[in-house]
Structure 1
Amino acid sequence: MKVDISGIEKTDGSSLQIEYNSLIEDLNSILDHEFLFNAPVEFNGSVANVGGVLKLNGRLKTDYTVGCYRCLKEIHDKLDLLICEEFVNAGENMNVEVYTYEGGFIELDKVLIDNIILNLPMKKMCSEECKGICPTCGADLNHNECNCRTDAIHPGMEALKNFFNN
Structure 2
Amino acid sequence: MLFELKSVFQNDGEEKQVEYNLDLSGLDVDGVYPFKTPVVVTAKATNRASLITLVINAHFDYSRDCDRCGEPYTREMNMSFEHRLIQTLADEENDDYIETPDFTLELDDVVISDIFLSLPSKNLCRDDCKGLCQICGQNLNNGECSCDKRQTDPRLEILKQLID
TM-score bucket (shorter structure): 0.7 to 0.9
Corresponding residue of 1:134: 133
Corresponding residue of 1:64: 62
Q: Is the 8 Å Cα contact of residues 13 and 49 (structure 1) preserved in structure 2? A: yes
* 2:140 is aligned with 1:154: no
Shift of the 33–12 alpha-carbon distance from structure 1 to 2, 3 Å rule, reads farther
Corresponding residue of 2:111: 112
Q: Which amino acid aligns with 2:74?
A: H
1:1-166 matched pairs, under 5 angstroms: 1-24=1-24, 28-29=27-28, 31-33=29-31, 36-93=34-91, 97-121=96-120, 122-126=122-126, 128=128, 130-143=129-142, 146-162=145-161, 165=163
**Cα deviation, residue 162, structure 1:** 4.7
More helix by share: 2
Q: Is the 8 Å Cα contact of residues 59 and 82 (structure 1) preserved in structure 2? A: yes
**Cα deviation, residue 42, structure 1:** 0.8
Q: Which amino acid aligns with 2:111?
A: L
Shift of the 108–137 alpha-carbon distance from structure 1 to 2, 3 Å rule, reads same
Q: 1:124, 1:59 → 2: CA distance?
A: 23
Shift of the 146–50 alpha-carbon distance from structure 1 to 2, 3 Å rule, reads same
Number of residue pairs matched by the alignment: 162
SS in 2 for 1:102: coil
TM (normalized to structure 2)?
Answer: 0.73
Calculate percent identity across the aligned residue pairs: 27
Show structure 2 runs of 5+ residues with no match: none
Shift of the 3–131 alpha-carbon distance from structure 1 to 2, 3 Å rule, reads same
